[in-house]
Amino acid sequence: MTITTTYLITVFIIVSVVSYTIYIKNIVNPLFLFVIPTGVAYILYILYFQATWTLSNEANLIFLIGEFSYLIGYFFSCFFNSLVKSVATKTVPISYQAVHFEKNIIVWVFLVSGIIMNFLSIIKLRQLGASSDNFRDQFINIVSSLPPYVIYGKYITVFALCSLLYSYLTSKISRWYLLIILLGTGIVYYSATLTQARTDILIILMPLAIIFLMVKIQNANWQLFVKSVFIVILCLVLLYFSFLFVQIARFGNNTDNFFSSENQTFQYISLPLTAFDRWMVTPNLSGVRHGFGIIDPIDKFLKLFQINQYEYSFAVRGQFNVYSYLSAPFLALGKFGVFFVMVIAGYFNYWLFNKAKYSAYYLLYYAFFENSVMLSFYSWQMTSMVNVYALMFILLVQFNRVKVHESKLNNKL
């Protein structure tokens, strides 16, 4: 598949997805969150890097297999859901019930623990020289030896903050909770910037933004949809300045224009496919891991017992070493793996999106999960441990709510 053909097909897919997004009036649907980042990343590669790094025809073909497979799975799930709805007597409007997460002890345990962990993390990182240039490289070298609170504090805090934000948006609770949400977000955001990791910033901000937009644009009219688009644009501007802050922290004030081929953030958006091509497609590593690596928890479990997983070394430290979402399914099962895995991913994402329209608990998980979908241009993260931790948190919160409800019923009896 030539670069020109792939480019034209990608543009067509992007236009189609934007049209679909306008039609359903929801800018945080999983099709938009997957196709736009991966498609725009490919277009930016064409515009800025094609002359320097040329993608092979095989890499272009695998990229299109991944995009179309996701579309197939998504619309098949959509079609199946419409068949089920056609049997129902009437369409149920989107409505989020008030769930008082602010009264759930698990949420407060996570929030207080997370805030404490973030404060400890800030102290630790500053002791290690977080304000110095190129601290990120030092952080990567020592990350495995750091205390757990440095790594997990931000996740624990964000889980709790998302729950409180949902309650604030759907229930008439005190505005003091909004202050708690803003202060908590500020603390965990500052902690994330000290590691100089752009993905950490997205992990913090994206779930909160998705919950806000999903609740606000339920059964959206055009006016609300346009407002949501402006909110997304504002979020992108804030992200740009966040990334600029990280860039300056890492390399000083001598930072290039964002759209410069020398800008590292811009490279991380535009070049993962070229690294995938160079280190995996060109050496013909299709299916070398024999199914391993697609599901991160299983991968980590096997590593714990030192089971041979056919590990391979790719780009060394200092070279470009992120490979887009295609890497894990390709290394595990080849082109068939890309097709099979992405069909399942598309099907699951629509199913989760549809469930998230009517349930607070599904919405919380959707907000966390779609962050990994949006980062597909960067790497394979849909089955990451973060999503497992999010699921565990939601199950704990729901279990505690059920136990409290049963206790109240028993007292009444």
Q: Output DSSP code: residue 84.
A: H
Task: Give the whole-angstrom CA distance, residue 155 versus residue 151.
Answer: 8
Contacts of 48 (CB under 8 A, 6+ apart): 259, 261, 266, 270
DSSP 383-405: T-HHHHHHHHHHHHHHHHHHHHH
Q: What is the pLDDT of residue 319?
A: 60
Which ranges constitute the DSSP H helices of 171-260? 176-194, 198-216, 222-251
How do the pLDDT tens digits run along the chain, 413 residues long? Answer: 788 899 999 999 999 999 999 898 888 999 999 999 999 999 999 998 888 888 999 999 999 999 999 999 999 999 988 877 655 545 555 567 888 899 999 999 999 999 999 999 999 988 888 767 677 777 777 877 889 899 899 999 999 999 999 999 888 788 899 999 999 999 998 888 887 777 788 888 889 989 988 888 776 666 666 766 777 666 666 665 565 555 555 555 555 566 666 677 778 888 899 999 998 998 888 877 766 678 877 777 776 666 655 556 676 665 677 899 999 999 888 999 999 999 999 999 999 999 998 889 999 999 999 999 999 999 999 998 899 999 999 999 988 875 544 445 445 44
Contacts of 287 (CB under 8 A, 6+ apart): 330, 331, 332, 333, 334, 337
CA gyration radius, the chain: 22
* Bridge partners for 379 per DSSP: 324
**Token output for 201:** 């910033």
Q: What is the pLDDT of residue 40?
A: 93
Q: What is the pLDDT of residue 126?
A: 87
SS3 of residue 172 by DSSP: coil
Q: What is the pLDDT of residue 160?
A: 96
**Token output for 316:** 């060394």
Query: Which amino acid does the sequence have at 116?
Result: I
Tell which residue, 390, 387, 383, 391, has the closest CA to residue 298: 383
